[in-house]
């Protein structure tokens, strides 16, 4: 896709190199197989080790823990390229990196960091995130999962739904209510009382390992409790990291839809000439390019601010909300331009469109982010 406002001039050589290597990986390894994986509702497990070898997992973490010590601009750009392939691929990486490795690095003990992070970075271990509950949604105060202190650990009971990577995860980062407030727990798949259940019949994010986590009197030793965070700060900071990844990622899906629409309308002939020559087609294509460029501008600025330590959760809410809304609108426009072919998995558009329905609500629904901004503007919390 053309760099309409020359945003490459704002990127470092490192960011460009990571973008190109990730783009090449998506074109070579993901695009040829992802339609079949989506149709079969299977995550392409053969990609996991390759993703780890590329250094895409936890890339912003220090090298001593297996990361690349990269910046957030680069992390955003690789998420854009990953979701140009499929939302399920981006979700795998951002779940591992933002929702699981980030809290271990930020709130874990040195022993926990050394034990888990290098193996998570190399994809030797896979992690999932347990926060959302069947009846809770974005309301952390309604969390039903409970952890009770014992002599040498904790007993955890509860259910977490819509957990990315759950079906093949070795480790779950689970948040639970305690007498001390919300705490984070690192639950290994072998722990007694812990099980994972497939989420059947989902029509979006089909090429992902999304599942349900169930803890029934699950014993978690004290050394597997994150020691340096209590309350809502922990899970909210994880969501903020993931929202940043989603804001970048969905624009990758939008770019793929836009490029497909340009190619298709240029080649498709009706009434004796390419349909791209018709006014209404050009109107839709110009809107797509404009909204992609606007969202990229917001994402680039947010990446700069994150690297400078000047970002706020409100900024991320705006970027995520805007990108998800516009990406879905672009996918729908593209689907219409492809006519009947727009609903075929021979083309990427319908797959992206269906996946983007999930990103509209994941890591906080768009309505929730509108209320976050509403409180910023007015000073009134509409959620309480």
Look at the alpha carbons of 241, 247, 250, 255 in this order and tell me if their dihedral is positive or negative: negative
DSSP H or E segment with residue 352: helix 349-359
What is the separation, in whole angstroms, between the first and last Cα of the chain?
A: 44
CA distances (Å), 33 to each of 89, 94, 211, in order? 12, 21, 22
Residue 382 to residue 233: CA distance in whole angstroms? 20
Contacts for 124 with CB less than 8 Å, ≥ 6 apart = 52
Measure Cα distances from 377 to 361, 373, 381 in Å.
22, 6, 10
- Across 21-170, the runs of DSSP E, i.e. the strands, are 127-130, 146-149, 153-163
Q: Which of 63, 259, 363, 375 is catalytic?
A: 363
Pull the structure tokens for residue 220: 């978690």
Active site residue 124: no
CA 107 from centroid of its chain's CA atoms: 21
What's the CA gap between 259 and 63, in Å, rounded?
Answer: 36
DSSP state of 225: B
Q: Which residues are catalytic?
A: 363
């Amino acid at each position: 896709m053309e760099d309409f406002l020359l945003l490459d001039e704002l990127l470092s050589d490192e960011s460009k190199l990571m973008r190109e290597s990730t783009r090449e990986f998506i074109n070579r390894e993901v695009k040829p197989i992802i339609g079949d994986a989506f149709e079969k509702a299977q995550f392409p497990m053969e990609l996991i080790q390759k993703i780890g070898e590329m250094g895409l997992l936890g890339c912003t973490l220090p090298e001593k823990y297996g990361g690349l010590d990269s910046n957030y601009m680069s992390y955003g750009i690789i998420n854009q390229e990953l979701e140009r392939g499929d939302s399920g691929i981006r979700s795998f990486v951002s779940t591992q990196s933002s929702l699981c490795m980030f809290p271990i690095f930020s709130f874990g003990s040195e022993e926990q960091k050394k034990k888990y992070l290098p193996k998570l970075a190399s994809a030797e271990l896979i992690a999932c995130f347990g926060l959302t509950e069947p009846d809770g949604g974005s309301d952390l105060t309604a969390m039903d999962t409970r952890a009770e202190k014992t002599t040498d650990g904790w007993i955890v009971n509860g259910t977490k739904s819509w957990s990315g990577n759950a079906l093949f995860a070795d480790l779950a980062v689970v948040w639970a209510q305690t007498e001390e407030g919300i705490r984070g727990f690192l639950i290994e798949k072998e722990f007694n009382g812990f099980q994972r259940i497939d989420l059947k019949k989902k029509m979006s994010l089909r090429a992902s390992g999304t599942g349900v986590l169930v803890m029934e009197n699950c014993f978690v030793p004290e050394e597997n409790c994150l020691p340096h965070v209590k309350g809502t700060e922990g899970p909210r900071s994880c969501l903020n990291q993931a929202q940043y990844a989603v804001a970048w990622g969905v624009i990758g899906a939008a770019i793929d839809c836009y490029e497909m629409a340009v190619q298709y309308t240029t080649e498709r002939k009706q009434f004796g000439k390419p349909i791209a020559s018709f006014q209404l087609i050009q109107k839709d294509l110009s809107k797509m390019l404009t909204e992609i460029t606007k969202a990229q501008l917001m994402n680039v600025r947010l990446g700069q601010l994150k690297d400078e330590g000047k970002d706020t959760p409100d900024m991320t809410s705006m970027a995520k909300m805007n990108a998800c809304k516009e990406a879905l609108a672009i996918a729908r426009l593209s689907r219409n331009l492809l006519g009947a072919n727009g609903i075929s998995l021979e083309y990427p558009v319908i797959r992206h469109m269906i996946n983007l329905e999930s990103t509209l609500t994941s890591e906080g629904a768009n309505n929730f982010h509108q209320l976050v901004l509403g409180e910023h503007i007015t000073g009134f919390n509409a959620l309480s």
